[in-house]
Chain A
Amino acid sequence: MIRRMFLAAAALALAAMPVRAQTTDAAAGDKVKELETAWGAAMVRGEWATIEKMLAPEFIGTDGAGKRYTKMEYLTMMRTGGMTFSELQAGAENVVVSGNTAVHMGEGTMMVKMPDGTSSRMHTVWTDTWVKGKNGKWLCVAGQWVDHPAT
């Protein structure tokens, strides 16, 4: 009887593993990738409202110079900074999911037009942390990025 219980427990554990991987981690990873893709597309279109919805109220962003941005400051910079983005090419990405936390490590190359009219092609590497709320919605709580001119 005990042995049968062990076998049953083992069978349950084996059956549960792929379910968790498929329905939790893999699905969460895909969702976060989808959100990151939407973020990039929104930047190109200048749809800051879309990005605003993805950011947690306590969002903190950090750029390659080490400057910190609150959610408000980040959105203000995007809305009024006079920069435009185009020709976005997403690069390698990896998502690590741990419970309700997902870390997206991504990179992309895009043309950035500055307020003075000059343009340059930049390669950006970032680490974004997403947290799933009780309503099942993923929000970005932090992001740090670094950009260098693309060769």
Chain B
Amino acid sequence: MHAVDSPTTPKSPAPPGGVTPHRAGRRPGRPRRRLGDQRTPWLLSLPALAVLVGLLGYPLYRMVVLSFQNMRLRELLTGRTPPWVGFDQYTKVLTDPVFWTVVRRTVVFTVVSVLISVLLGLAIALLMRRVHRRVRLFMIIAMMFVWALPQLVAAQIFKWMTDADFGVVNYLIDKLPFVEFKNHSWFLSPTQGWIVITALVVWAGVPFLAITLNAGLTQVPKELLEAATVDGAGPWQALRSITLPILRPLIVIVTTLSVIWNFGLFTQPWVLRDSKVEAEYQTLATYSFTQAFGRSNYSLGSAISVVTVLLMLGVMAFYIRQMFKIGEVD
């Protein structure tokens, strides 16, 4: 401001007066502060690191070790070191056709449920841009309630709604002409059972996706869309060549997250099958859990967990890379 009023006189003393002492004051101060800077952040992170290493790192290590041993109920009760068995658990797991069925089922479920959820979420997000303000508010409120619901409670509601005798779903479908659905048991046929599970997962997952993607859509410059329309682009073309490319980073992140979440599916089959998951409804997570705690085969369960983590490693690394980039930005 001074510089504008009287360009010459205050300007020349300003640089030496304003900048140099600042630098001079900083230069000797810096090495000292940096020494402190090296120690303080480590001291600050120490408790968190200790907790993470002690209670996540060590169990992770123990899980791997355990998968090379044979820990059964006897070792658990006596506290004796379980016998080492080398790769036996892995051989057992990897040559077991049941395991591969479970892997295939988990992968298929993940692909199908993520595809439906993300596409539906995107469609709803786009719909939210088209509707009246009040309708949009209604949609947001409806989705908020669903999103806020605890997983276990949501699963219990679905269990109750698809109850064979008194479930409202059977009643409503039965109302349709030419359909006999009284006392229909949804979980007798695995296909139908999985439809219920997928519906539950999609229903619970769409709010996060739609609301997040809708927030992303507000960032798409309207001018671009208008320019495209003026240039003769149809709505579909505008979506494909403008909206989606801009939204891409966000879509990538929410899809990755959905894959990670749905791959670890546990609660829904567990609750819908009354904590006694049948072979047709096992996912990798429930399978490992039942092997370990249901059959006291802790080592086998660990081996399955290790394989699960390895299967997910690629997706996780991808997510971390994305988040890391973001973390570097600010």
Co-complex (A, B) = no
